């Protein structure tokens, strides 16, 4: 099968959607399918062979974060060229309701089309206001996938229709087989995420750290991710700072080793999460998880059976739970066992098969199995669809 996948977000900036698309593409390629991914990217030379750059992205505030998207006339031209050259059997767009390559591709193409929705946002005024613009896009999509029940709910409540829930996938064995790093022995907490993005929750964890160290002074915190390290620890005492090790951006291999090494992985996120791929990666590495009790996190952690939960932004509760768990090797072992069993449902062998089943259902159900084509009238309709001036590339 020739599969075209559209990534809305900058390929050069790590994120859950990009990782999902990368892993899906490589899983499908491994099964013998021909896959091309279109994504915003600055450096063509650093891209995998299956990724086609649609040019530079621009930063746009989106769902409590900053998304780097590509949109406008130049992007539209590149999308149409990619669709024509690809001659795909099926087109798979991700986050088609964002002003991105995915929306442009959905507008431009006709034929078998699948969309995956990643966003969880129960009160998106922007999505409601944009509904008239988005409906023509949604009507062309043959099948909708949501990565969680909360992403599905966002779609249903804001735009109508429905979606099948297929979670994000993880190569479980990649994390399970990683070697722990011998440098990190003793009670070790781990955090991975963008340091200066408030919804990732690092301030809550840092606020809890003094109490954790008061009881467990030998503990350490490993922080991996991009951001201003000095700003993050500005309010902490020197002795607390000394127990924090900032690792910066890490490779996939380094991330797997980190997760295999920690005694407790902490996810203190404050909101805006529709899934929680880092929780699945931590469980794959048999790292006990302590996470804020966001609905999406609770679902991933089997309502607390495969990891423990604490109230969102409650540093005191986080500290108490971490102290208790670090002092209870039996409970940590129970969490490792439960997580290792639960996480198998997120392995690409399961998730990939479910996505392929959607593809096959769509292609079998479209007339003659004809793949996506480019609408010849789209070149003059972008402004009319938007109802405003196009953003510049």
DSSP state at residue 366: S
Assigned domain for 100 exists: yes
User: Residue 106 corresponds to which tokens in the numbers above?
Assistant: 């959905």
- Asked if 240 and 265 sit in the same domain, the reply is yes
- Asked if 263 and 329 sit in the same domain, the reply is yes
Q: Smallest Cα–Cα separation from 91: which of 120, 117, 111, 76?
A: 111
Assigned domain for 279 exists: yes
CA distance 274 to 28: 24
Sheet of strand 143-146: strand arrangement: 51-53, 34-39, 2-6, 90-94, 113-117, 143-146, 164-165
CA distance 143 to 135: 14
- Asked if 207 and 340 sit in the same domain, the reply is yes
pLDDT per 10-residue tile (average), the chain, 393 residues: 95 87 97 97 84 84 65 88 96 92 92 92 60 79 93 86 93 96 92 93 97 97 95 95 96 96 97 90 97 94 96 98 97 96 96 97 75 55 33 34
Domain, as residue range, for 224: 172-344
Assigned domain for 392 exists: no
Assigned domain for 391 exists: no
- Asked if 262 and 320 sit in the same domain, the reply is yes
pLDDT for position 388 = 30
CB atoms within 10 A of CB 221: 25
CB atoms within 10 A of CB 26: 16
Assigned domain for 117 exists: yes
Ordered DSSP codes for 75-119: HHHHHHHHHHHH--SEEEEESTTSTTHHHHHHHHEESSEEEEE--
Beta bridge partners of 244: 221
- Asked if 7 and 128 sit in the same domain, the reply is yes
Positive or negative, the CA dihedral 388, 116, 195, 124 is: positive
pLDDT for position 129 = 57
- Asked if 296 and 202 sit in the same domain, the reply is yes
- Asked if 36 and 141 sit in the same domain, the reply is yes
- Asked if 59 and 137 sit in the same domain, the reply is yes
381 close to 103: Cβ distance less than 8 angstroms: no
Which helix (H) or strand (E) element contains residue 248?
Answer: strand 244-248
pLDDT for position 385 = 35
- Asked if 332 and 184 sit in the same domain, the reply is yes
CA distance 133 to 28: 32
Q: What are phi and psi of 266, to 5 degrees?
A: -110, 125
Domain count, the chain: 2
- Asked if 198 and 131 sit in the same domain, the reply is no
pTM of the complete model: 0.83
- Asked if 327 and 371 sit in the same domain, the reply is no
Only one residue has tokens 């003094």, namely 210
Assigned domain for 86 exists: yes
Assigned domain for 204 exists: yes
Assigned domain for 256 exists: yes
The CATH number of the domain where 204 resides is what?
A: 3.40.50.2000
Q: What are phi and psi of 281, to 5 degrees?
A: -65, -40
pLDDT for position 128 = 58
pLDDT for position 379 = 37
Q: Smallest Cα–Cα separation from 262: which of 293, 292, 283?
A: 283
- Asked if 148 and 182 sit in the same domain, the reply is no
Q: What are phi and psi of 322, to 5 degrees?
A: -65, -45
Beta bridge partners of 190: 222, 265
């Amino acid at each position: 099968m020739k599969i075209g996948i559209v990534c809305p977000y900058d390929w050069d900036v790590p994120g859950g959607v990009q990782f999902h698309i990368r892993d899906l593409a490589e899983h499908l390629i491994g099964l013998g399918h021909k896959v091309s991914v279109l994504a915003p990217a600055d450096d063509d030379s650093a891209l995998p062979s299956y990724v086609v750059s649609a040019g530079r992205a621009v930063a746009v505030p989106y769902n409590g974060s900053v998304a780097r998207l590509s949109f406008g006339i130049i992007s539209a031209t590149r999308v149409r060229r990619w669709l024509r050259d690809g001659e795909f059997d099926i087109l798979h767009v991700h986050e088609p309701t964002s002003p991105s390559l995915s929306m442009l591709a959905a507008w431009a193409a006709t034929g078998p089309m699948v969309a995956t929705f990643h966003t969880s946002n129960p009160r998106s005024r922007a999505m409601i206001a944009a509904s008239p613009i988005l409906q023509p896009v949604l009507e062309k999509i043959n099948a909708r996938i949501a990565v969680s029940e909360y992403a599905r709910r966002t779609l249903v409540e804001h735009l109508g229709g429905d979606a099948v829930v297929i979670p994000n996938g993880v190569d479980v064995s990649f994390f399970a087989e990683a070697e722990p790093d011998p440098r990190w022995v003793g009670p070790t907490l781990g955090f991975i995420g963008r340091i200066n993005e408030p919804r990732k929750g690092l301030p809550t964890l840092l606020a809890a750290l003094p109490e954790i160290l008061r009881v467990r002074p030998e503990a350490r915190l490993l922080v991996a991710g991009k951001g201003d390290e000095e700003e993050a620890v500005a309010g902490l005492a020197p002795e607390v700072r000394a127990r924090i090790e900032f690792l910066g951006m890490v490779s996939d291999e380094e991330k797997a080793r980190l997760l295999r090494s920690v005694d407790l992985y902490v996810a203190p996120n404050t909101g805006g999460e529709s899934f929680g791929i880092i929780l699945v990666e931590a469980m794959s590495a048999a790292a006990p998880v302590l996470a804020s009790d966001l609905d999406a996190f609770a679902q991933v952690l089997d309502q607390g059976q495969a990891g423990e939960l604490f109230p969102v932004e409650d540093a005191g509760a986080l500290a108490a739970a971490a102290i208790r768990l670090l002092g209870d090797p039996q409970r940590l072992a129970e969490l490792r066992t439960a997580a290792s069993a639960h996480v198998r449902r997120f392995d690409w062998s399961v998730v990939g098969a479910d996505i392929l089943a959607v593809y096959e259902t769509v292609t079998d159900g479209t007339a003659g199995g004809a793949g996506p084509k480019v609408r010849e009238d789209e070149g003059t309709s972008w402004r009319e669809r938007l109802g405003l001036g196009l953003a510049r590339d």
